[in-house]
Structure 1
Amino acid sequence: MPSVLARGAAPVTAAGLALALALAAAPPATASAGDVRVRVGVTGGPYTASVGLVITGPRTLFGGFYCAADGLSATPLTALVDADEQYGLGGVQARWDAAKQDFVVTSIHGDAADSKKKWNAYVNEKKITAGPCHTAIKGGDKIRWTLEA
């Protein structure tokens, strides 16, 4: 014999259940003002990766230095650090170069730069000429970090 709750309940269709579950799911991560969505890749060393959309924006990085092109825009380095945080690239390390007033990437996923190889950034397949915190990126850009001689 059905319970009182079952007798008074309305039938639920599969579409209704799917809608209820969709509404109950956690909301997607939202971007802050100045944030953009880009794709990030890592090549050149034993570790190679290409990740989905990365939400990135100007932010404080390693040791408290603010990284933003023109003080407002996301950069190749913020995209790399955010890709590591969002997709687990295995760690990003960089050092501050006081002479350049910018960061130099020293390691991605344990693949370290040395006297013969360094990490270079490309935006839409064009090698950047300014430092990684002085180069602005925009939504839809493809960012690639490559360990090169």
Structure 2
Amino acid sequence: MEQGRQRMIRWAGWILAIIGGGHLTLGLLISASSFDEWLTLELWGHWWEDTRAANSFWANPAGFGWPLLLVGALIVWMDRRGIVPPEFLAWAVLGWGVVCAVIVEPTPGPVVVIAALLLLRGIRVAAARDGSEPAVLAR
């Protein structure tokens, strides 16, 4: 049972980290033509405007790639130390993934949903094995 829980949680973390890192990497490669505007602080005066540089900034370094990469890396880090991630983390990623999957296509949102469900299942299996309740945000 321990092995199954670990595998589910580990896979969920890696899936999320790879999607986040892939989004960030591909997005930055596609946005390379906007770097000069970002680095010369030209967005300061018109960050709210609908320009190619502003759109690429908000979609890439300010988008969901970094947070998803960090959440995935955190889950893998916790798993390697035998720490079961809190259930609220799985629920938050699940909600985020569902919104992305429904509103924006094509998107890896459905894969994020699968990873979140895998994480949630792994957390619940770990709680059942330990005879405890999964950690939630508030009681």
**Do they superpose with TM above 0.5?**
no
Which of the two has greater helix per residue? Answer: 2
Which of the two has greater strand per residue? Answer: 1
Higher relative CO (CA 8 A, sep ≥ 6), structure 1 or 2?
Answer: 2
Who wins on radius of gyration, i.e. which is larger? 1
